[in-house]
Amino acid sequence: MGRILNSIHRFFSEMSRSSSPNEDYINKLFLWFLILAAIIMIIVIVAVLIGAIHYRSSRHQGEPEQITGIKWLEISWTIIPLLILLIFFYFTVRFMKDIDQPVDKNQQADIIITARQWWWEMQYSKYNFTTANELHIPVHQKLLMRVESADVIHDWWVPELGRKIDAIPGTSNYSWLEASDTEEYKGACSEYCGTQHAGMRILVISETKNEFDQWVQEQQKVPSPPVDSVGQRGMRLFSERTCAGCHSISGIVAVSHIGPDLTHLASRKTLISGVLTNTPKNLYLWLQNPQKLKEGSHMPNFILSNNELEALVKYLEDLK
Amino acid sequence: MKLNIHIPEPTKPIPDIRTGEGLLQWLSTVDHKLIGIMYLCTALLFFVLGFGEALMMRIQLMRPLNNFLSPEAYNQLFTTHGTNMIFLVLTPMLLGFATYSLPLMIGANEMAFPRLNAFSYWIFLLGGLILYASFFAGGMPNVGWFSYAPLSERFFSSTKGVDYWVISLLLMGIGSVGAALNFVVTTLTMRTKGILMNQLPLFVWMVFVNSFLILAAFPVLNAALFMILIDRQFDAHFFVSATGGSPVMWQHLFWGFGHPEVYILALPAFGMVSEVIPVFSRKPIFGYEFIAASSVAIMLLSFGVWAHHMFAVGLGTTFNAFFAASSMLIAVPTGIKIFNWIATMWGGSVQLKTAMLFALALVVNFTIGGLSGVGFSLVPVDWRLTDTYFVVAHIHYVLIGGSLTGGFAAAYYWFPKITGRMLSEKIGKWHFWLYFIGFNCTFFVFHFLGLLGMPRRVYTYPDLPYLGTLNLFSTISACVFGISFILFFWNIFYSLRHGKIAGNNPWNAWTLEWLTSSPPQQKNFEKVPLVRSRRPLWDMLHPEDPDWKRENKNKIKKTGNE
């Protein structure tokens, strides 16, 4: 019995997980709503069952009394719901204002997120570097996100960290981001954006201030060029096989922003916007045939030989 | 000068498909009953397709990272499934019942414009076929039934699927507007002697109100469809932000149609159960005026709630607050209906026939869908729930739990009138329970999936806690749900041959369609008595206690008080 209760509790806490003040507001309002909905649901089900069982025809004879309505009843089930909804409206507006606090006109965003088919570009404008698909944030700090899109409409959503916000081409949306724990949070694009909508996951890593500062320093560094011959071959291939036409890596001639920035690829936990964990083997498989791992992705198959693949993987997985 | 319109009124009975006149009679008919039956059969046909699409999606989703369907195939399937179920199943089902029953219920022999009636059906069918023709033209549409710009622009969707989708919806839109116009004029001008507007059967009343909704909402959709078509074909830029267009405008236009559309699908179903529940409770409907007035309230309010689909767009607190208020407000008239249906049962003598069971299932399931709808009007909660599986649960509770369940109640209720034979109650009860259990098990877990963080419209999902188990449970339940439909088809097939002969009025119902023979002759009525109340057949059977005396007494009381 205790085990069952325990697993039910685990299930429900999984559904109401929150790690930010904003999500706490949402959870609170949802809980109140859930209680109200449960009460109404029970009233309706019980009332229908009474109607179906107590008033069933086998218990009565002849036609029942022909009642056409009772006015005070009608008025009360119009007025009472209105009053309940009025209370909920008050808290809706209040929490909405708490979550969406106004942004100062001159305020610079801490993070600029540009959604693309089907990955996320993340610019830390204050620190002057760009990364992709993995967002690092310092814990307990309220950060301002600017969310944009380079192609179609996407939507930023990390359940534990508060509200969804659409990424719309031609528009900048602002939203506040704050984590109350040091953890990894998984999110996903939440607006249908084409073939690989499902393959557009988000990883947010919240860290202590020190860890975050260290991470920023590493990201700002230009990665050292490879010293071994395989890695050097990989670096050459990176420009020869036109990888640099879409991807940028600081320190070499690769500045294009069509695909994700690969400057510190090796430091990331996942590949291809959270579809795979970042291991040399997965990177090898991805480069071998991108369409097999993420069908529809804009990365073409370059038909690389095994030697070339190994060289490229070696080069990229040393980019720390 | 009074204009006389000649309505052709042949007197032969409805031709059977097996008799000599056969197919040609169906193709050339302008009779509202035959057209109604054709609508209903078309809905059943497309339902099989739409359910097949849904089942393939459920198989793909039954475990994480499944490879049953490619992402492209999945995206085409969910787009076609949505469009199919809304425009090719629910719409013709509701139009079909309305086309069949509305003239009968007001004692008319025809619709006001019989040829427009036939035109509406055939152009709707053409639209449906064009949607599926895209399959042979390089791929079905793959941008969702909401077709958000700029994803639906040619740059991002270069196949012809979206163009076919646009043209298909345009044609169906024209058909729906034609049908709506016909219902309005029929209701206003063709009522038999004595029926006042406040004595219309509630189904007629709801179809009447609904028709105004169609007349106002579909032009918005059609305008938006033309814009996207011009964008795609002639490189205009209504919805392209780079050249000064606005992708958000598409959302305003689409939901400006899309939300009224939800009520377009719901109101006639409300009308159906408002007929079924009183008959099987042996009592008049509780609070007729409130049900009728609340429908008008829903109609008006439904034009002011569209942006609750757009709370995540970032339109600002004031804007969101307005639409939160209007969306909460629209829950009130819906709640009034639920309570009135329950009050109709209370104090009655309830016969749990299959039609009644389906009507009660609507009361329960629509309440779940309506309540989760209130959840979306709480903007912060919406920021968590929107575009997740929670919304998928909500939409299915509203459209299956509401519209389709109401359709089944109507099917069991009117089948004897349409065919002259009763549907089997035994198969019907099996159908009902498998349907009710299968439906709730399939879709209730979607609420949990959404709260756990599963976005909607994904062809696959990572192996996160509980997602696999719940999806598998839903897929298995969907099979149970599927079996219930096989039973329904078997019931129709069996009852058409072996069903009990119905007679004119098998349910002892009170509205005029039960006065004539089952199935009615081509000319519905030879003679209709003077109607003096909402339940003309009750008055005929109970001359000692007629409704019109009761209704008059209320009026006298009122004037006496004044």
Average pLDDT, stretch B290-307? 95
Residue of B nearest to A173 (CA): B314
Q: What is the pLDDT of residues A9-35, one digit of tens each?
A: 999 998 989 999 999 999 999 999 999
Average pLDDT, stretch B87-96? 96
Asked if residue B275 lies in contact with residue B206, where contact means CB atoms within 8 angstroms, the answer is: no
Inform me whether the C-beta atom of residue B455 falls under 8 Å from chain A C-beta atoms.
Answer: yes
Asked if residue B362 lies in contact with residue B326, where contact means CB atoms within 8 angstroms, the answer is: no
**Confidence grade of residue A320 (pLDDT, cut at 50, 70, 90):** confident
The verdict on whether omega for the bond into residue B519 sits within 30 degrees of 0, i.e. cis, is yes
Contacts of B242 in chain A (CB under 8 A): 169-170
Inform me whether the C-beta atom of residue B76 falls under 8 Å from chain A C-beta atoms.
Answer: no
Identity at B223, one-letter amino acid code? A
Q: How far apart are CA B433 and CA B481, in angstroms?
A: 10
Q: Where in chain A is the domain with CATH 2.60.40.420?
A: 111-208, 229-317
Q: What pLDDT was estimated at residue B18?
A: 55
Please state the pTM of the whole predicted model. Answer: 0.94
DSSP state for residue A168 in the 8-state scheme:
-
DSSP codes joined into one string, B246-296 = -HHHHHHHHHHHHHHHHHHHHHHHHHHHHHHHHHHHTSPPTTHHHHHHHHH
B313: nearest CB among A89, A166, A193: A166
A52: nearest CB among B352, B372, B384: B352
Those residues with Cβ within 8 angstroms of residue A279's Cβ, 6 or more apart along the chain or in another chain: none
DSSP codes joined into one string, A52-105 = HHTTBGGG--SPPP-----HHHHHHHHHHHHHHHHHHHHHHHHHHHHHSPPPPT
* Mutation site, B363, B381, B467, interface A, largest A CB count within 10 A: B381
Q: How far apart are CA B398 and CA A90, in angstroms?
A: 26
Q: Is the pLDDT of residue A276 over 60?
A: yes
Helix (H, G, I), strand (E, B) or coil at A248: strand
- Contact yes or no for B331 and A50 at CB 8 A: no
Q: How far apart are CA B209 and CA B160, in angstroms?
A: 37
CATH topology of domain A111-208: Immunoglobulin-like (2.60.40)
| Of A137, A155, A97, A261, the residue nearest B309 (C-alpha) | A155
Residue of B nearest to A88 (CA): B378
Identity at B361, one-letter amino acid code? A
Q: How far apart are CA B336 and CA A80, in angstroms?
A: 11
Q: Is the pLDDT of residue B562 over 80?
A: no
CATH of domain B32-561: 1.20.210.10
Average pLDDT, stretch B83-105? 96
| Of B411, B266, B283, the residue nearest A51 (C-alpha) | B283
Residue of A nearest to B76 (CA): A195
Q: Is the pLDDT of residue B560 over 50?
A: no
Q: Which CATH number fits domain A229-317: 3.40.50.300, 2.60.40.420, 3.30.450.40, 1.10.1040.10?
A: 2.60.40.420
Q: How far apart are CA B196 and CA B206, in angstroms?
A: 15
- The number of beta carbons lying within 10 Å of the beta carbon of residue B298 is 24
Any idea where the domains of chain B sit in the sequence? 32-561
- Contact yes or no for B148 and A152 at CB 8 A: yes
- Beta strands at A143-149 and A111-116: parallel, antiparallel or unpaired: parallel
Asked if residue B99 lies in contact with residue B179, where contact means CB atoms within 8 angstroms, the answer is: yes
Q: What pLDDT was estimated at residue A251?
A: 86
- Contact yes or no for B350 and A57 at CB 8 A: yes
Asked if residue B316 lies in contact with residue A103, where contact means CB atoms within 8 angstroms, the answer is: no
Q: What pLDDT was estimated at residue A2?
A: 86
Specify which residues A155 forms β-bridges with: A166
- Contact yes or no for A69 and B289 at CB 8 A: yes
